[in-house]
């Protein structure tokens, strides 16, 4: 396996890069951390779609200094396991339907107004949670 030098950087024919001018070498750990653009290209999806999935917490990602970072090993693990069935409603319509089913099966005489107030509170809580984290 040979190496070729280019202005202070040695690059092996295997693609591993080491810095020779005082900069820390790129290790396997940092090579597995991808930016949004790199992860989108690797997964062959749009950056917008990947960002939406990261924002929703649907896939493993970390927000670092305001930018998404993706660990290749974590993404491979995530890809290898099918998603469990949704345990909670994802849309407002699903939430309303879920509340109606629960109310129909319950002896609690909750009014439509109380249900709507509950939904407003849940949306406000979800919005506050997403803004905080």
pTM comes to: 0.44
Q: How many whole angstroms from its chain centre is CA 45?
A: 14
State the pLDDT at residue 19: 46
State the pLDDT at residue 108: 59
- For the segment 75-96, what is each residue's pLDDT rounded down to a tens digit? 998 888 866 655 666 777 777 7
- Residues whose CB is less than 8 angstroms from the CB of residue 13 and which lie 6 or more positions away in sequence, other chains included: 1, 2, 3, 4
Q: Could you say which DSSP state residue 91 is in?
A: S
- For the segment 2-56, what is each residue's pLDDT rounded down to a tens digit? 544 445 444 444 444 444 455 555 555 556 899 999 999 999 999 999 998 888 8
State the pLDDT at residue 133: 65
Whether residue 100 has pLDDT greater than 90 = no
Whether residue 61 has pLDDT greater than 80 = yes
Tokens of 133: 């984290």
State the pLDDT at residue 12: 42
Closest alpha carbon to 59 in 38, 83, 34, 30: 83
Rounded Cα distance between 128 and 113, Å, is: 22
Q: What is the mean pLDDT of residues 63-68?
A: 91
Tokens of 95: 């939430």
């Amino acid at each position: 396996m040979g190496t070729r030098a280019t202005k202070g950087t040695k690059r092996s024919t295997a693609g591993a890069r080491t810095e020779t001018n005082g900069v820390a070498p790129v290790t396997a750990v940092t090579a597995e951390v991808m930016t949004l653009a790199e992860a989108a290209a690797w997964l062959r999806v749009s950056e917008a779609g990947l960002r939406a999935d990261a924002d929703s917490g649907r896939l493993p990602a970390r927000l670092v200094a305001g930018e998404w970072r993706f660990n290749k090993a974590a993404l491979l693990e995530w890809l290898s396991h099918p998603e469990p069935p949704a345990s909670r409603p994802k849309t407002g319509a699903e939430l309303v339907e879920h509340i109606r089913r629960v109310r129909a099966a319950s002896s609690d005489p909750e009014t439509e107004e109380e249900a709507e107030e509950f939904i407003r509170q849940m949306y406000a809580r979800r919005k506050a949670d997403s803004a905080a984290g």
